[in-house]
Amino acid sequence: MRHSLWESFRFAGRGLRVALATQRTMRAHVVLATAVTLAAAWLDLPAAGAAAVVLAVAAVLAAELVNTAVECAVDLRVGRRDDVLAGRAKDLAAAAVLVTAAAAAVVGLLVLGPPLLVRLGTGVDALAVARAGTLAVVLALALLALLRPGGGPSGRGPGREPP
């Protein structure tokens, strides 16, 4: 069935409403996105910096929506059964959100960090602090990836391996 452009926008709006109503992490991402957007406006970022922040925020929100869609599709297919591949699909979709959010945090540190520290008058080398924060994010991701080397999907719920 072919839908009008207006109907397509309505379906997308419904998807956003469902995600906000049912996904705690989506609500958290929206709160953080609002804070970052307000900070970018307060700091009066140049156009390139503002564009980088907007793209990073949009990427995180889009990744969260895709993750939710994957979870719904997997649950629809496997129901309440435990399935290793279904759990892996969910874990991979969640990892995509994690990587996207980490990249957005790095963008935030590099783009918002220096002007924020200057605006607050801290007197510290703002770029050095942003670089150190970036390194911390990358190291945290590496550590998280190495915590359970070779392990299978984790967590509970439909599509997950039993503990």
Q: Is residue 100 part of a domain?
A: yes
Q: Is residue 142 part of a domain?
A: yes
Q: Is residue 92 part of a domain?
A: yes
What total of structural domains would you count in the chain? Answer: 1
Q: Is residue 159 part of a domain?
A: no
Angle at 57 between CA 52 and CA 62, to 5 degrees: 125
Please report the pLDDT score of residue 101 as a whole number.
94
Report the distance separating Cα 60 and Cα 163, nearest Å.
Answer: 29
pLDDT per residue as tens, the chain (163 positions): 788 999 999 999 999 999 999 999 999 999 999 999 999 999 999 999 999 999 999 999 999 999 999 999 999 988 878 889 999 999 999 999 999 999 999 899 889 988 988 888 877 787 788 788 888 888 888 888 888 655 555 544 554 444 3
What phi, psi does 5 have (nearest 5°)?
-60, -40
Whichever domain contains 46, its CATH number is: 1.10.287.3610
Please report the pLDDT score of residue 147 as a whole number.
82
Catalytic site residue from 7, 64, 71, 161? 64
Please report the pLDDT score of residue 158 as a whole number.
52
Q: Is residue 29 part of a domain?
A: yes
Q: Is residue 11 part of a domain?
A: yes
Report the distance separating Cα 23 and Cα 30, nearest Å.
Answer: 11
Q: Is residue 18 part of a domain?
A: yes
Angle at 74 between CA 89 and CA 22, to 5 degrees: 105
Instruction: List the one residue out of 53, 16, 24, 59 whose CA is nearest residue 38.
Output: 53
64 catalytic per annotation: yes
Residue 74, domain extent: 5-146
